[in-house]
Structure 1
Amino acid sequence: MTEKPGSNYRYIVVEGNIGAGKTTLTEAYSRHLNAKEIYEQFVDNPFLPLFYENPDKYALQLELTFLVERFRQLKEELESSLFHNAIVADYYLKKSLIFASTTLDEADFKLYARIFHSMTGTLPEPDLVIYLHQNTEQLLQNIAHRGRTYESNISRTYLERIQKSYFRFFKQVSAFPVVVVDCQNIDFVADKAYLNKLLDIPFQRFNKGFNVYDLK
């Protein structure tokens, strides 16, 4: 299985909070690496708008539905990607645990975690995770700009809790590199210099675990 010359990672995941720019960067990596892309199909989750209106009532249904769909999609996509030099996904399967730890109470999360681990143990881990860090104000602006009605109830507090859960989780990772990119006050879509620095990340080598990458 050959890689694009110079690329050090085959299975790359772009992660970040809601509105951080994951899909935009995944599209750019797909073109740059001639890679197979995998995009989360969250718009099909019927519990998502209900959750934003009443999180306590719909959190478990939402998280279980996301888990089933993410697992099904990744299993099918990864099994059909044998002849691709690289794969880029705009989500990491274990984000399901990150979000569930924030949205579920202790009893529901214990149940959820047991289901998660029994389902997903056979899927491969990524070779590299790139995490886009944005401040909360910018996330709220990005969410408002894309105009999804069901996201209008997302609160600053919810985004901050998710952000903390991501960092808490990724600081414990030791199996692959997690590269945290500070994108605060940076528009990598408009400024090609920043985009080019992001596109160069897969061609560099990083230590396994938590890494910080400076775009400036």
Structure 2
Amino acid sequence: MRIQRITYLSLGTNQGNKTENLQSAIDLIADEIGAVLKVASIYETASWGFDSDNFYNTCIKVSTYLPPEQLIQKLLTIEKDLGRVRVDSDSYADRLIDLDILLFDDEIIFNKDLIVPHPRMLERKFALAPLAEIATGVIHPIAKKKISLCLQECVDDSDIKQLNIPLKRPIPISEQYNYIAVEGNIGAGKTTLSTMISNDFNAKIVLERFADNPFLPKFYEDQERYAFPLEMSFLADRYQQLSDDLAQFDLFKNFVISDYYIFKSLIFAQVTLQNDEYKLYRKMFDLMYKEIVKPDLYVYLYQNTDRLLKNIEKRGREYEQNIEASYLEKIHDGYSNFIKTQQNLNILVIDVSELDFVQNRDDYKTIIQKIKEHRP
């Protein structure tokens, strides 16, 4: 299990559009490092150790899974992506963006690539002032004093000015939504995406227990005979799982993600059942559906049929290998009709046919960005 850690980062710039530089860095940190929990004000100071344009400085509180050694490498990459060119020199110079680790939990780190707490932070108002704004009660692990007291005792007599220029804190999807359901056709990648989001955003996850269904292999061998017991068993199991699992979580405090929504039962039943069987099934479904918690966001992953067939072949489940394109297309039509008729469900459709969000981090980030930017 990965552990989330709290780090405080210092950001500075004295070139170009300084406010924009800071905001861009904050946005990239949110994308690449972890959730930005707090953002301090911007503080303006004269350049330190050389004559040049004034600096804008701020500090942010970040929750991250990265160990400190990986964190500093990510910060160096972000600096480079924003246009900073580092030179081999100990002298002070203009900086498009400067990112430093001030604190990493209460750890003390000394190695050739990283020293934490930052070795000069107690000497610099431009680091302590924004840090004290958002971490006033935090204890410096070496000085053994609160950051607010460290600021009071700082011997730096340079002028520092707090600016009334707001910086925007990127809101992670774990704060935008309490419960997300990820859906899609067979082989669309819904379980994989749900698991990735759960890992990255510390979400409670609910995964469909399809592998335990004894009727599933039999259904693919004889659909007409086993369709009704299969769909009824799926419905009962999905209802029980969602009722039990969601009841364990406080949906106002926990971020929950599932790789299915119970309405998929009706979509598959429409395709597989005879008319009289479907009528009976629908009565049972309607009774259960009223009791199920609705997701704050319903994400439907669309993949074209050719890509679905390739995914199904690749994952190698023996009982799925004879699934025909026509069956997948009927399932997709069922989802399409469901999406068109749902007025009270917040739905986001994402075409992932040309995305490889497992192997390509940028493709995964594209999906996360679509979720962040979605408005009902």
TM over 0.5: yes
> 2-side partners of 1:168 and 1:19: how far apart?
20
Flag the structure with larger Rg.
2
> 1-side partners of 2:370 and 2:241: how far apart?
26
> 2-side partners of 1:149 and 1:6: how far apart?
36
**Unmatched runs of 5 consecutive residues or more in structure 1:** 208-216
Give the 3-state SS of the residue equivalent to 2:218 in structure 1: helix
> How far apart are residue 152 of structure 1 and its match?
1.4
> How far apart are residue 7 of structure 1 and its match?
2.9
Which of 308, 328, 333 is the matching residue for 1:139? 308
Give the 3-state SS of the residue equivalent to 1:171 in structure 2: helix
> How far apart are residue 130 of structure 1 and its match?
0.8
Hey, what does 1:123 align to over in structure 2? Answer: 292
Hey, what does 1:212 align to over in structure 2? Answer: none
Moved more, 68-77 or 192-201: 192-201
Hey, what does 1:104 align to over in structure 2? Answer: 273
Matching of residue 25 in structure 1 with residue 193 in structure 2: yes
Q: Is the 8 A contact 1:4 1:85 kept in 2?
A: no
Report Cα offsets for 1:67-102 as digits up to 9, x if no partner. 011111111100001175210000011100010011
> How far apart are residue 120 of structure 1 and its match?
3.1
- Larger RCO (CA under 8 A, 6+ residues apart): 1
If each structure's helix is expressed as a fraction of its own residues, which one has the higher value? 1
Amino acid at match of 1:42: F
Change (3 A) 1:188 1:111: same
The percentage of aligned residue pairs carrying the same residue is 43
> How far apart are residue 189 of structure 1 and its match?
1.3
Q: Is the 8 A contact 2:339 2:347 kept in 1?
A: yes
If each structure's strand is expressed as a fraction of its own residues, which one has the higher value? 2
Amino acid at match of 1:7: E
Q: Over aligned residues, Cα RMSD in angstroms?
A: 1.6
Q: Is the 8 A contact 1:15 1:131 kept in 2?
A: yes
Which of 33, 37, 44 is the matching residue for 2:205? 37
Once the two structures are superposed, the pairs formed by residues 48-197 of structure 1 within 5 Å of their partners are: 48-82=216-250, 84-197=253-366
Amino acid at match of 1:9: Y
**Unmatched runs of 5 consecutive residues or more in structure 2:** 1-170
> 2-side partners of 1:130 and 1:205: how far apart?
10
Which of 200, 203, 215 is the matching residue for 2:372? 203
Hey, what does 1:210 align to over in structure 2? Answer: none
Q: Is the 8 A contact 1:8 1:202 kept in 2?
A: no
Report Cα offsets for 1:135-154 as digits up to 9, x if no partner. 11111111111111111121
